[in-house]
Amino acid sequence: MNFKKNLWIPALLLGSCASGPGAPSDDELIVCGADEVFGLEVPAAGAPRRVWGWKAQECPDLPDLVRKQFGSTDECKPVPGGGVLVTSSAGGVALVDRASGWATFWASVVNAHSAEAVPLNKLVVASSYGEGGNRLLLFDRSMPGTLLASEEFLGAHGVVWDPEVKLLWALGEIELRLYSLRDLDSSTPGFVLRHAYTLPNPGGHDLRPVPNSNSLSVSTGNHVWLFDRAHLNFGPCGGLSDLGNVKSVDVHPRTNRLAYVQAEKGYTAERVKFRNPEGEVTLPGLKIYKARWAVHLE
């Protein structure tokens, strides 16, 4: 697969919540930043192209207040079944149906930085720095805006559910933590801290499982690490190890292609970069924060 340097596509004007996507292909990335989320196909041959887009401001199903809280999207995590979890540091969280663009869940969360679907129709959201933040929050998908439980966690930035051990990994400023979720089927669920692992360097940011392995990719202020869930230790993440300000890392479960976003101007970038093989796609004028492979929607 050959990606041309500085290949770019123009931004499309989006006139509705979503622009009619078909089923995601192996080449589709979900990209977020500023006030939009969109699907971008990056084929082996030919130019990248947008296949759908979503903006909270154009979605009447969201409450007025929440609609205004998506000016700085910072997560676009695919959920099996066709949903995309969108968070924004401006205070919004939504579970968006990729096909229709409708939000099936929403909530206001201080400096929301990531979210994860967990069993029994629940969601966990990482609420980062700010008054009322530095917490992990638990919600039920069927009850938009209703908080069920919270757990203090400095600089909460990433969450990953581990289905094999039925536990939750959470990334903060200086720790990677492992939680169990108690009484999810009751009216009083909660978090139970099982273990905490000090990061090799501070500034925990992105947390993502590496498919077909026991590893989690962990980006910090100045490095990218692999955390071995079997041996419970940190190690270097190949060619990304010494990169700083990496906002997202995502490995395709079938092709092993790695997509990552490294901040270039402030907190955002105009490029999505790739390994296996190397390459990049440039989107001039956009403020890209994260990119995730859409194949995880399956």
Interval 194-252: pLDDT, tens: 999 999 999 999 999 999 999 999 999 999 999 999 999 999 999 999 999 999 999 99
pLDDT band at 24 (very low <50, low <70, confident <90, very high): confident
- Among the listed residues 272, 208, 196, the one whose alpha carbon sits nearest the alpha carbon of residue 33: 272
pLDDT band at 12 (very low <50, low <70, confident <90, very high): very low
Cβ burial 258-293 (10 Å sphere, 16+ → b, else e): bbbbbbeeeebbbbbbbbeeebbbbbeebbbbbbbb
- Among the listed residues 295, 206, 208, the one whose alpha carbon sits nearest the alpha carbon of residue 252: 295
The CATH fold assigned to 28-297 is: Methylamine Dehydrogenase; Chain H (2.130.10)
Residue 292 scores a pLDDT above 80: yes
Cα–Cα separations (whole angstroms), residue 203 to 118, 206, 254, 265: 25, 10, 30, 18
Residue scoring higher pLDDT (1 or 71): 71
User: Taking the domains of the chain in order of start, what are their residue ranges?
Assistant: 28-297
Return d(Cα 134, Cα 128) in angstroms, integer: 5
Return d(Cα 153, Cα 41) in angstroms, integer: 36
Residue 18 scores a pLDDT above 60: no
Residue 17 scores a pLDDT above 90: no
Residue 109 scores a pLDDT above 80: yes
Residue 265 scores a pLDDT above 90: no
Residue 16 scores a pLDDT above 90: no
Helix extents (H) in the chain: 64-67
Residue 3 scores a pLDDT above 90: no
Residue 295 scores a pLDDT above 50: yes
pLDDT of residue 297: 79
Across the range 37-44, mean pLDDT stands at 92
pLDDT band at 20 (very low <50, low <70, confident <90, very high): low
Residue 13 scores a pLDDT above 50: no
116-166: per-residue pLDDT in tens?
A: 999 999 999 999 999 999 999 999 999 999 999 999 999 999 999 999 999
Per cent of the chain over pLDDT 70 is 93
Torsion sign over Cα 281, 283, 289, 290? negative
Return d(Cα 102, Cα 218) in angstroms, integer: 31
Return d(Cα 256, Cα 217) in angstroms, integer: 14
pLDDT of residue 43: 84
On average, the pLDDT of the chain sits at 92
Across the range 74-80, mean pLDDT stands at 96
pLDDT band at 180 (very low <50, low <70, confident <90, very high): very high
Q: What are phi and psi of 192, to 5 degrees?
A: -125, 115
Residue 7 scores a pLDDT above 70: no
Helix extents (H) in 54-212: 64-67
pLDDT of residue 261: 98
